[in-house]
Structure 1
Amino acid sequence: MGRAVLNRLLLAPCVYVALLQAVPVLKADDAFDRDAALSVSQAAIGEAIGAYTLRDTDGQPFQMQSLSGRPYVLSMIYTSCHHVCPLITRRIASNVEIAREALGDEAFAVVTVGFDWRVDTPERMRLYRRNMGAANAAWHFLSGDDGSIRSLTEDTGFQFTASSGGFEHLSQTTIVDANGRIYRQIYGDDFKTQAFVEPLKELVLGNHQASGFVQSWIDTVKLFCTVYDPNSGRYAFDYSIFVALLTGILCLGAVLIFIVREWRIAR
């Protein structure tokens, strides 16, 4: 009996060390530094997202490279969060509706990734999606293993630390361009609609590489004439720009006619 107790006492430190290696532990001096996290987040702008393989809510492989060719919105959440993460997701959802109304349903994709890889399984992500009411086919809720999640968070400049209540992290939403590079970082769980839609508008309507001349011209007009209406909280095509342009042309024409007529009289 004494030998069994002694063996357990000798084994306990080994088990403790193994647990420390397997589970990230937040030390007192590892408190989340928001200023440092913000700097890392900003430094990620312009960096490329790696070709990672995650899993969708059905447990099927999802290639991040499959998103190339159009912009997408990327957010990192953990499903055990009951406050900030749902607020961010719902805020994204409301602004996605506005952005798609202005830019088109297929203009961009949305991706939400669970970064607590031990807990955020495809089943948990499916339940989270259902609770958020985000059933759109172009909104992907994804899970990953430790390696892919760590690499993805490094690429996006998203930092998090374990805490007694779950995790501490920036309220960060990332806009990624059609080439898979980070274009903009948006912060907060109640960000303004313009902060979300404007970078998407620039990416969708300002990218003329794959467009013909006519489509490029149309997109340029839309880029400058699709504006935010604070009264309705939506984006709309502003015809007043054309009215002002036409008025200017008519005024210039009237001045030219007057000058020509006076010149003829003077002769």
Structure 2
Amino acid sequence: MKERFAAAVACVLLCASGARAVRLPANTGEPSGSPPILQRVDFEQRLGTQVPLDLPFRDETGRTVRLGDYFQGKPVVLTLSYYECPMLCTLVLNGLTSALRALRFDLGKEFVAINVSFNPRETPELAAAKKATYLKEYRRPGSEAGWHFLTGDEESIRRLTEAVGFQYAWDERNQQYAHATGLVVLTPGGQIARYFYGVEFSPRDLRFALIEAAQGKIGSPVDKLLLYCFHYDPSTGRYSALALNSIRIGGVLTVAALISFIVVMLRRERRAATNAPTWTPGGVTPRP
């Protein structure tokens, strides 16, 4: 009860202090004056869209799998990063790993993570090397069963990236892909639940997204109470304090505090009356 009370108070204080999320553009592409290739890059939100779970890929061992094999009653964190990317993809995976290490949830237990390379020329050997690197960074036993690094053919990659709104382009001059950065949280049934943009991800926001995607089947009562105080803003890809709900909780807490105070005072008065000495003709007699 104390833990819930503290969490609720924190919600109210956050709103009272005017806490706000940093606003990020929904379109992660470059301004119109940028090189033409960057104008073909975007990460468009398609919340609620069903991802095709029948798509064939190969896992890091070379085994043929279906995307749906990894949707077994747990929410999924999806990243789209190719393994020989010279910079951005590594930053995305580094940022995800940092956020995952801060979570109390464990990979493979409460949720699953999948990285899909959007370069059809890459091999399971590259995927295996990348997986080994990040499992070592994550440093939690048993996580190898919960983090999957996939490769696939052009058709499977195209269908997946189109479903999640991820647009990228091959830069012939620099011999690398131009692409956006971020990750997608999906429900256990494969619907798109949340987007997070950039290369650094808030552990708090990721935790909220996983709880929402799992429809409250993971997370503590305190998590769910805190989530009531925050609202996901699709235009920023972040959770911000929701003032109305916090005010409601604040009102409930105020009433509860007043009732508790009255109950305590009444009990003290009764105890004092019970222990008070009684008057008799022979003098004052203490109560036994």
Place the TM-score, normalised by the shorter chain, in its bin: 0.5 to 0.7
* Selected match of 2:207 from 197, 214, 218: 197
User: Quick one: which amino acid aligns to residue 182 of structure 2?
Assistant: Q
- Assess if the C-alpha contact under 8 Å between 1:77 and 1:85 holds in 2: yes
Q: 1:148 to 1:195 in 2, by over 3 A?
A: same
Aligned to 1:152: 160
* Selected match of 1:46 from 45, 48, 51: 48
Aligned to 1:141: 149
Residue deviations 1:136-193, cap 9 Å, x none?
3200000111110110101111110111330111102010011100101111012322
Q: Does 1:89 align with 2:97?
A: no
Shift of 1:29: 7.9
Instruction: Provide the C-alpha distance between the structure 1 equivalents of 2:166 and 2:127, rounded to a whole number of angstroms.
Output: 19
Instruction: Provide the C-alpha distance between the structure 2 equivalents of 1:245 and 1:152, rounded to a whole number of angstroms.
Output: 50
Q: 1:250 to 1:76 in 2, by over 3 A?
A: same
Q: 1:78 to 1:222 in 2, by over 3 A?
A: closer
- Assess if the C-alpha contact under 8 Å between 1:49 and 1:180 holds in 2: yes
Aligned alpha-carbon RMSD (Å)? 3.5
- Assess if the C-alpha contact under 8 Å between 1:174 and 1:186 holds in 2: yes
Aligned to 1:172: 182
Q: How does 1:21-170 map to 2 (within 5 A)?
A: 30-33=36-39, 37-38=42-43, 41-42=44-45, 44-50=46-52, 51-68=54-71, 69-99=73-103, 101-102=104-105, 106-118=109-121, 120-133=122-135, 136-163=144-171, 164-165=173-174, 166-170=176-180
Instruction: Provide the C-alpha distance between the structure 2 equivalents of 1:54 and 1:104, rounded to a whole number of angstroms.
Output: 21
SS of match in other structure, 2:38 = coil
Aligned length: 204
User: Quick one: which amino acid aligns to residue 122 of structure 1?
Assistant: P
SS of match in other structure, 1:59 = coil
- TM-score scaled to structure 2, two decimals? 0.61
Shift of 1:203: 2.8
% identical equivalent positions = 25
Instruction: Provide the C-alpha distance between the structure 1 equivalents of 2:255 and 2:111, rounded to a whole number of angstroms.
Output: 31
Aligned to 2:21: none
- Assess if the C-alpha contact under 8 Å between 1:107 and 1:204 holds in 2: no
Instruction: Provide the C-alpha distance between the structure 1 equivalents of 2:258 and 2:181, rounded to a whole number of angstroms.
Output: 46
Residue deviations 1:78-107, cap 9 Å, x none?
1121211111111111212222x2478511
Q: 1:103 to 1:124 in 2, by over 3 A?
A: closer
- Assess if the C-alpha contact under 8 Å between 2:107 and 2:113 holds in 1: no
Instruction: Provide the C-alpha distance between the structure 1 equivalents of 2:215 and 2:86, rounded to a whole number of angstroms.
Output: 36
SS of match in other structure, 1:31 = helix
Q: 1:114 to 1:250 in 2, by over 3 A?
A: same
SS of match in other structure, 1:33 = helix
Instruction: Provide the C-alpha distance between the structure 2 equivalents of 1:248 and 1:159, rounded to a whole number of angstroms.
Output: 56
Residue deviations 1:196-241, cap 9 Å, x none?
2221132346249xxxxxxxxx9545422699xxxxxxxxxxxxx9
Instruction: Provide the C-alpha distance between the structure 1 equivalents of 2:123 and 2:144, rounded to a whole number of angstroms.
Output: 20
- Assess if the C-alpha contact under 8 Å between 2:108 and 2:145 holds in 1: no
Q: 1:62 to 1:248 in 2, by over 3 A?
A: farther
Q: 1:194 to 1:150 in 2, by over 3 A?
A: same
- TM-score scaled to structure 1, two decimals? 0.65
SS of match in other structure, 2:144 = coil
Q: 1:131 to 1:222 in 2, by over 3 A?
A: closer
Between the two structures, name the one with larger relative contact order (CA 8 Å, sep ≥ 6): 2
- Assess if the C-alpha contact under 8 Å between 2:56 and 2:66 holds in 1: yes
More helix by share: 1
